[in-house]
Amino acid sequence: MNVEIVTIGNEVLSGRTVDTNFAYLARVLEESSVQVIWHSTVGDTAERIAEGLSRALDRADAVVMTGGLGPTPDDVTRKAVATLLSRPLQLDESVLANIRERGKRSGRKLPSTVESMALIPRGAEVWPNPVGAAPGILIVHREKPVVLLPGVPNEMEALAEEFLVPYLRQRTGRAVECFTLRTYGSFESQLHERIGAMPEEWPGTSFAYLPSYFGVDLRVTVVGNNDHTVRETALRAYNELMAKVRGVVYAEGGIGMEEVVGAILAEKKWRIATAESCTGGLLAKRITDTPGSSGWFERGFVTYSNASKLDQLGVDEATLDAQGAVSAAVAEQMAQGARERAGVEVGVGITGVAGPDGGSDNKPVGTVFIALSTPLGIVSRIHRLLGTRATVRERAAQTALDMLRRHLLELPVDPSLD
Amino acid sequence: MNVEIVTIGNEVLSGRTVDTNFAYLARVLEESSVQVIWHSTVGDTAERIAEGLSRALDRADAVVMTGGLGPTPDDVTRKAVATLLSRPLQLDESVLANIRERGKRSGRKLPSTVESMALIPRGAEVWPNPVGAAPGILIVHREKPVVLLPGVPNEMEALAEEFLVPYLRQRTGRAVECFTLRTYGSFESQLHERIGAMPEEWPGTSFAYLPSYFGVDLRVTVVGNNDHTVRETALRAYNELMAKVRGVVYAEGGIGMEEVVGAILAEKKWRIATAESCTGGLLAKRITDTPGSSGWFERGFVTYSNASKLDQLGVDEATLDAQGAVSAAVAEQMAQGARERAGVEVGVGITGVAGPDGGSDNKPVGTVFIALSTPLGIVSRIHRLLGTRATVRERAAQTALDMLRRHLLELPVDPSLD
């Protein structure tokens, strides 16, 4: 089965908003053995939307459209599609009730235009939106599914996962297995050196390196007509791949590094305190992204000023003067100070130069010291991270989490020693 | 003049690579008063590329295509376009000389296939690539410009800046003005009630609501034939819009709320300390996103446990027991504690239920208390935020920054009182 995606919105067409929805959809559709053959982005006019849908129906077996389902006059997707497919809009009482209920819970008076989101093309199936007001809409037009999803990314993703993917999988009837290994600490080129042409030996398999600030994900998708063969191939791919890269794999699937670290801490019944300078709270934020993190995260210190390093963490003033705030010694004292003051088992200290200013020949922008203090010992490392201020901070937090993960699992904290 | 953009590449169509070229082109074209009316992404086959170009020529006055100009067998753009427009490929000696020269300088032996990049459709203009091998190509087909640019972002951007933008500006001779007002504290639907059909009164103007977690941006673009008239219309639009929404506008252009708050603090020479529970460090992270924030951010307390609220911030145990950690009284004590312990002018306290668990009938998920303590006084508010754990946290941090902004500017902290 092949599909065409139509993104609707002047904000995307103007380049002000980067369309992340499309890339998300393309990936999840591929994992359902659905091939994306064309993507159009059109403006918020009924004419363009109708043209986009009409061309897409000529080319593809199914069409997914995102955007233009909100309550304002520039949200015309419902109307444009209803007109083109000759399915007049009708008020859906259950959608209306849901919109009113959400309005009541928010405690704000909503204008009557929000109720336009309850107008649904005749004969369409409604997919309730678990995180927003505008529902997803499925119309089967001359045996081709036409799916309308909201443009707000978390709403689109929730509806795609809960309804679109299962629906298309069931329609295609092909067997698909996919898995993702998440790695941290090796560049894409280093992974490629280890893996080589191995994936070509797995029949029906597509293999991808997906690099980001959070490491390189390795994604394997196996498609075929036979459930059993597909499962066997996927298992073989998993084992052969793991044999090459196990040391740098921190998780499988969509699990984040902070969840992995949280699970290890919960398992050990250890609690953690963070002490951050250059990351400014990002590490604490990452750890507390995980629901239930109050089970292992006790407190965080964002010691941006030197004064706060001294009085919140007990960093030694002489060390600070002699070695500077960006040094291994200060990172270690921060980790120990956090651990002691919070009365917990694990302390992490981060200090570095996030930039764009503040670098020197000796400690250029991107120099970050990370230290750990735990019952297993004290350890610190210097890291040279590349990128903008935002990238250096993201990488520093991820590196600290990975270093902690490796330390807690009693692996060498330097991934190149695996 | 309007233009259609065609992105060529399987890696984009599969969602593996996010197409940043398109957003870049759309922005620079808009600033040249060229309107992008459609964007297609197609795979690396001659048939799809020809269909993309052919549809685009039907709809638009000009077409810009990116990608597929490299030396490998999947780079088929030149050939597909040459065939469709009946302009056979011919070897361009100057391009060939440039490719050979680059090869020599790189010191690597290049495969002979690189010379395919010197094949240019007959009668085309060649735009030399300042940073790579594949040149830009301009064909004027029945008075419509068709421009081919490489897909490598820095090469595409260099060619767009040096050749495409000046070429199109000269061709259109039109004037353009655009601006963006960033608002926080009103829903899109509430803004729409205030603004209504007013933008229709501004000739040559397009108007858009751009909602995100960070508020709703209002974007105005005015295009016309006369510089003076366009500037006047833009000024009028600015004044009329501001008269309706001034109270909720926190910035213009691409400035973030944390930068606005940082600038106010820097101006007042006040320093800030944060005390966070449910946001877990996100507020401190937002404030320190801004380079130079050590000028106003002194320290942050991430007091996740009750013990840390007591001993880091001096929250009163009796209050904590009687009212619970999620309460106005605790938020106020957190703000005051942070301010006093850090010895700064401004303290912010946030405590709430980010979810997914921990809600109650009285304090459902999304209930967040935010308090401020400054020389202007102590203030706290309850907020009912909607969404997932991540959204509630993002909104809580943004709401705290906006509340602080309003307080420091001596506006009512509740935007609905404007």
Q: In chain B, what are the domain boundaries?
A: 2-172, 175-252, 259-417
How much is the pLDDT for A375? 97
Task: Tell me the C-alpha distance between B74 and B12, whole Å.
Answer: 14
How much is the pLDDT for A170? 87
A100 to each of A97, A134, A366, B86, B268, how far by Cα in Å?
5, 12, 50, 59, 44
* A106 vs B283, B291, B386: nearest CB: B386
Give contacts of A387 with chain B, Cβ < 8 Å. none
Backbone angles phi, psi at A277, to 5 degrees: -110, -80
B147, B62 contact by CB (below 8 A): yes
Contact A11 B219 (CB under 8 A): yes
Contact A110 B301 (CB under 8 A): no
How much is the pLDDT for A245? 95
- Other C-beta atoms lying within 10 Å of the C-beta of residue A144: 14
B330, B316 contact by CB (below 8 A): no
Of chain B, the percentage scoring pLDDT greater than 70 comes to: 98
Question: A387 to chain B nearest CA, in Å?
Answer: 14
How much is the pLDDT for B103? 77
pLDDT digits (tens, 9 = 90+) for B21-48: 999 999 889 877 788 999 999 999 999 9
Which one of 3.40.50.2000, 3.10.310.30, 3.90.950.20, 3.40.50.620 gives the CATH number of domain B259-417?
3.90.950.20
Task: Tell me the C-alpha distance between A280 and B273, whole Å.
Answer: 12
How much is the pLDDT for B107? 67
Of B71-80, B323-332, B352-361, the least confident: B71-80
How much is the pLDDT for A417? 64
Residues of B numbered 286-315 whose beta carbons fall under 8 angstroms of chain A's beta carbons: which are they? 287-289, 291-294, 297-305, 307-308, 312
Closest by CA to A25, choosing from A43, A9, A42, A37, is: A37
Task: Locate the DSSP E strands across A29-101.
Answer: 35-42, 62-66, 89-91
How much is the pLDDT for B417? 64
B169 pLDDT band, cuts 50/70/90, is confident
Write a three-state SS string for B16-35: CCCCHHHHHHHHHHHCCCCE
Task: Tell me the C-alpha distance between A287 and A281, whole Å.
Answer: 10
Give contacts of B187 with chain A, Cβ < 8 Å. 108, 110
| Best residue of A7, A25, A39 to probe chain B, by most B CBs closer than 10 Å | A39
| Best residue of A3, A276, A302 to probe chain B, by most B CBs closer than 10 Å | A302
ipTM of the complex: 0.79
Query: Token pair for residue A249?
Result: 């794999």
How much is the pLDDT for A172? 87
Q: Is the pLDDT score of B237 beyond 80?
A: yes
- Other C-beta atoms lying within 10 Å of the C-beta of residue A123: 12
Question: B93 to chain A nearest CA, in Å?
Answer: 35
Residues of A numbered 197-226 whose beta carbons fall under 8 angstroms of chain B's beta carbons: which are they? 208, 210
More confident residue, B110 or B54: B54
Contact B39 A13 (CB under 8 A): yes
Give the mean pLDDT of B107-112: 69
* B208 vs A74, A113, A293: nearest CB: A74
Class of domain A175-252: alpha beta
Contact A30 B13 (CB under 8 A): no
A130, A149 contact by CB (below 8 A): no
Task: Tell me the C-alpha distance between A152 and A78, whole Å.
Answer: 16
Give contacts of B37 with chain A, Cβ < 8 Å. 13, 43, 48
A124 to each of A6, A167, A185, A215, B279, how far by Cα in Å?
19, 14, 48, 42, 40
Strands laid side by side in the B215-224 sheet: B205-212, B215-224, B175-183, B249-252
Fold of A260-417: Maf protein (3.90.950)
A160, A26 contact by CB (below 8 A): no
Task: Tell me the C-alpha distance between A279 and A197, whole Å.
Answer: 39
Contact A10 B39 (CB under 8 A): no
If you average pLDDT over every residue of chain B, what do you get? Answer: 93
* A291 vs B293, B298, B389: nearest CB: B389
β-pair partners for A195: none
Give contacts of B291 with chain A, Cβ < 8 Å. 355-357, 389
Q: Residue-wise pLDDT tens for chain A (418 aa)?
A: 899 999 999 989 988 788 889 999 998 898 788 989 999 999 999 999 999 999 999 999 999 999 999 888 889 999 999 999 999 999 999 999 988 888 887 777 777 788 889 999 999 999 999 988 899 999 999 999 999 999 999 999 999 999 999 999 889 888 888 899 999 998 888 898 899 999 999 999 988 887 777 888 998 989 898 989 999 999 999 999 999 999 899 999 889 999 999 999 999 999 999 999 999 999 999 999 999 999 999 999 999 999 999 999 999 999 999 999 999 999 999 999 999 999 999 999 999 999 999 999 999 999 999 999 999 999 999 999 988 899 899 999 999 999 999 999 999 988 876 6
Task: Tell me the C-alpha distance between A327 and A309, whole Å.
Answer: 13
Contact B298 A304 (CB under 8 A): yes
Residues of B numbered 34-73 whose beta carbons fall under 8 angstroms of chain A's beta carbons: which are they? 36-43, 48, 55
Q: How many helices (H) and strands (E) does chain B have?
A: 15, 17
Strands laid side by side in the B144-149 sheet: A125-127, A136-141, A144-149, A62-66, A2-8, A35-42, B35-42, B2-8, B62-66, B144-149, B136-141, B125-127
Of chain A, the percentage scoring pLDDT greater than 90 comes to: 76
Is residue B97 less than 8 Å (CB to CB) from chain A?
A: no
Task: Tell me the C-alpha distance between A139 and A346, whole Å.
Answer: 54
Is residue B383 less than 8 Å (CB to CB) from chain A?
A: no
How far the first Cα of chain B sits from its last, in Å, is: 41
Fold of B2-172: Molybdenum Cofactor Biosythetic Enzyme; Chain A (3.40.980)
Question: B241 to chain A nearest CA, in Å?
Answer: 17
Is residue B281 less than 8 Å (CB to CB) from chain A?
A: yes
How much is the pLDDT for A113? 81
